Structure 1
């Protein structure tokens, strides 16, 4: 194993470096959830908490929505909102809808979304990263949006690590 941010074959230089960072964040997320059971993935340490399963769904949902915004340049369809809404909203909706699934279910969602991201990144060049767009009503660019994708994952991975320490013995 090595810890280097560098060019990555198949990608332009800046996109390849971004992919390295996203891959590292994902590796550490998967390490944080390794071996968790359905009960552990569904556990709520407080009435207003989000489960680990919900946080994993949120990671996939955020990336999916950024794909739509930056690759497809459109808003999500009603069907996509239905599929991903609980993962984006979390809270009560997430507590109600995101439960009862094994770890492989969440990993599969994360993998499917990431595979599209990687395929789309190969079709783009570094200039695309600097394309300006509005994000949350603020000036932004694709680079920041994709940085935020894994920055958000890192934030929630920290929550997962804390929650894992709080798990009761099932």
Structure 2
């Protein structure tokens, strides 16, 4: 999925249309830096909370996979997550207290596997569409129009935002 020889190139990816290639290139770079930011963390470090209201690094990593999974359903399948899917992904989507309670005790490989599994499906789904698909508009936040290009930009923009939290938490780890 991630070609490390071309990690700094926003360019064409064989099998994908030009704009989708660029979007995936940016997503790959964001994911690469996320994985680097969490490299070698122990379970205790992944579960560490700065305070009773913060999110753990593990919860943030699972949040990235959950957001991407939710956008797969919304944009490729035109649906919200089912009750069954919300049981799996809900704590990671909403984070907060439920995430603090339920997202604990997993090693880094667990989170990386979740991220990779969801990303692999994203790559498979993007092979089924072309650049015109990115322009499809739907009501979004506050019923404002948004296109799929923006929605998928938001997937990795959210990851980049929370990756800053991961770096801050990592600097303040006391375990």
**TM range, normalised to the smaller chain?**
over 0.9
- The reply on whether 1:23 has 2:22 as its aligned counterpart is no
Structure 1, unmatched stretches of 5+, are: none
- Are residues 1:40 and 2:41 paired? no
1:158 corresponds to which residue? 164
TM-score, normalised relative to structure 1: 0.97
Secondary structure of the 2:29 match is helix
CA distance in 2, matches of 1:39, 1:24: 27
Residue matched to 1:149: 155
Distance (whole Å) between structure 1 residues aligned to residue 97 and residue 69 of structure 2: 21
Gaps (5+ residues) in structure 2?
none
CA distance in 2, matches of 1:89, 1:17: 29
Alpha-carbon displacement from aligned partner over 1:51-99 (angstroms, at most 9, x marks no partner):
0000001111100000000011112111001110100110101000000
Distance in 2 (alpha carbons) for counterparts of 1:75 and 1:22: 22
Runs of 4+ that moved beyond 4 A: none
Q: Tell whether 2:142 aligns with 1:167.
A: no
CA RMSD between the two structures: 0.8
* TM-score, length-scaled by structure 2: 0.94
1:132 paired with 2:137, answer yes
What secondary structure does 1:133 align onto? strand
Query: Structure 1 residue 135: deviation in Å?
Result: 1.6
